[in-house]
Structure 1
């Protein structure tokens, strides 16, 4: 991807992000609810923008070139950041789960889907490591 293409994609991503944020705010102020699909689309745009600035490519929206070789530094960044992001995600889910339970104020645990997500974050890394180890043994 050339510099001119990167600047153009960067510009388009920022415009799309502002449009989605405007839609989310409009929905929030008009109907007093948060647009979950808007948050999902916004997260894809933010991830694409960050990946564009980090590696100069975008795999989230189909801009990854298959013939492009990755260097050792990029592989190291991906390896280290994936493990850090896994544990950060686990902490974020725990905080969200704790806050929703505290604000709910009822006895017992009522948010079963969030508890399942938290349990999945605990099990995911060891399970993937097990599968990868089986592949190489």
Structure 2
């Protein structure tokens, strides 16, 4: 089993264990949502690695699939670290550093530092430039 498959199993276990808490209302919808996004992201990485096709394309979400391809292409092309790639996915979905810090359990200043590091590597300065860069890479 490779590292990506291990991540899927870990994400699935976390989500599975959180469901009873959500049903008993001791776990928030936001917490459950973050776990679900992490699982989908891990599965998407495996499918893209295996077939070159994002999971979203396979299940019929063509537009998100193209965006995922664009994000993965930017990661590779600009040499982003694994953590930067993860944060880029949040930024591509228009999430701010506060949201990212809460989702990943890191400080807001660390999330901001990653954001600016990503922007520097991509040669951009704003979220609108990131959006344009992703759109260019989706074609």
The bucket for the TM-score relative to the shorter chain is 0.3 to 0.5
- Structure with more contact order per residue of length (Cα contacts < 8 Å, sep ≥ 6): 2
Q: Normalising by structure 1, report the TM-score.
A: 0.34
Bigger radius of gyration among the two? 1
Q: Normalising by structure 2, report the TM-score.
A: 0.34
